[in-house]
Structure 1
């Protein structure tokens, strides 16, 4: 059994308390990041240090793949760290903490959102990094598919892959894979998907796909519907311990 955590924005609490802010992305998609998808810097640091102190094994995607192939036995305490959307705060705040502790994580990249050149950190918006900055963080982050232009939604009920044709979804997956090194691992944008999306991923050779359904992952979990737990701002340590399976 292993637990997967997902982070989006890691920011100082004072920034989070200013409220929701719009996203500003390369392909022009307009949206706002919901506040439950933020985590404050102090809590994030404490959570990472807690996992280290408790001697958790920080999984790689290769180990998760091997677990589902039956060729890797999970350590008793196993955790997979994931990040979605590659916001500037991932570089500014999360990356140094993980790098200093010699940890690795997975970052799911909506490649159509990523800018060609770096720009100054802008706290008033949720802005992704640039392609050169992704390369600069590659000692910590392994990058995988989060769609190219399909990271779009209709409310909280549908993501673009659910209303577009399968052929267009496949084309978008292939476009994203031109930019990411891990081409058979996917995260559903906004955690929204349907059975057709799962079937398409299987047909296209994807080995793992991550949802935002809470809970741990076991050998019986469908590897194309893996569970992830969103860590929110100021989450009490007792609640964090529950998420990672501590009594």
Structure 2
């Protein structure tokens, strides 16, 4: 049986209004980049999607379920879905977390540990602000945590992130810093979805067994576990398209 994986970023209603507009990142390490509208989803759309999954009796996968599927050959329920978030923005804490908790949905958060703030601040709707450590730690009843780098979540040029230019020692040092804060020491998500085979081999050497891309499609036993598919749920995705994605199966 195959499974689908979804990734979300910002869940909020004060969305970018122009197709080409970018929302500034506000992170503790002062890394600066603009987030495109595709990474935003309205509260109503997110609520509709999660409610649909619950009403349709989807099974929400944990990383332990995925490990048992690949390592022990344990079959997954027919409607299996892996819900994930990247980057730990404030809106995850203020908006998505209460919705998921209310619906009884478990999810995985890929954390950029160098982006989190030591102090909690008021919601800042003018930017995409990362949450605080206190906020992150308060969501453990819903979220498992996995590695999304410490400082290497940076864009070097279009299609190239810092993982792809770092030396092996630089990569190890960075990922080790994030490992100190996450439960799943063998699980990773590629920043911006960018990677190459050298990065895949480096992750393997560092003890990672699972890594998620942003490629669209289901995963089955034949899918390389360091190149697992994970579909971005984008801004204003038609609900019919969402339903197609979550019901997709490998042939």
TM class by smaller structure: over 0.9
Distance in 1, matches of 2:69 and 2:167, equals: 33
Distance in 1, matches of 2:12 and 2:171, equals: 33
The equivalent residue for 1:238 is 240
The equivalent residue for 1:121 is 123
Distance in 1, matches of 2:73 and 2:221, equals: 12
Match of 2:86 among 84, 87, 93: 84
The equivalent residue for 1:6 is 7
Q: CA deviation at 1:15?
A: 3.0
Matches within 5 A, 1:49-128: 49-128=51-130
Distance in 2, matches of 1:175 and 1:52, equals: 36
SS in 2 for 1:144: strand
Q: CA deviation at 1:157?
A: 1.1
Distance in 1, matches of 2:80 and 2:226, equals: 19
Asked if 1 retains the 8 angstrom alpha-carbon contact of 2:97 and 2:139, the reply is yes
Q: CA deviation at 1:246?
A: 5.5
Distance in 2, matches of 1:155 and 1:74, equals: 39
Asked if 2 retains the 8 angstrom alpha-carbon contact of 1:16 and 1:40, the reply is no
The equivalent residue for 2:17 is 17
Asked if 2 retains the 8 angstrom alpha-carbon contact of 1:153 and 1:159, the reply is yes
Runs of 4+ in 1 over 6 A off after TM superposition: none
Distance in 2, matches of 1:97 and 1:40, equals: 13
Distance in 2, matches of 1:176 and 1:101, equals: 29
Distance in 1, matches of 2:8 and 2:143, equals: 13
Change (3 A) 1:189 1:60: same
Distance in 2, matches of 1:155 and 1:2, equals: 32
Distance in 2, matches of 1:156 and 1:44, equals: 29
Q: CA RMSD in A?
A: 1.3
* TM-score normalised over the length of structure 1: 0.96
SS in 2 for 1:124: coil
* TM-score normalised over the length of structure 2: 0.95
The equivalent residue for 1:206 is 208
Distance in 2, matches of 1:177 and 1:157, equals: 25
Distance in 1, matches of 2:105 and 2:239, equals: 20
Asked if 2 retains the 8 angstrom alpha-carbon contact of 1:43 and 1:233, the reply is no
Asked if 2 retains the 8 angstrom alpha-carbon contact of 1:15 and 1:123, the reply is no
- Aligned residue pairs total 246
Match of 1:45 among 47, 61, 67: 47
CA deviation map 1:143-202 (0-9, x unaligned): 110000000012331010101111100111111101212211000000011111100111
SS in 2 for 1:154: strand
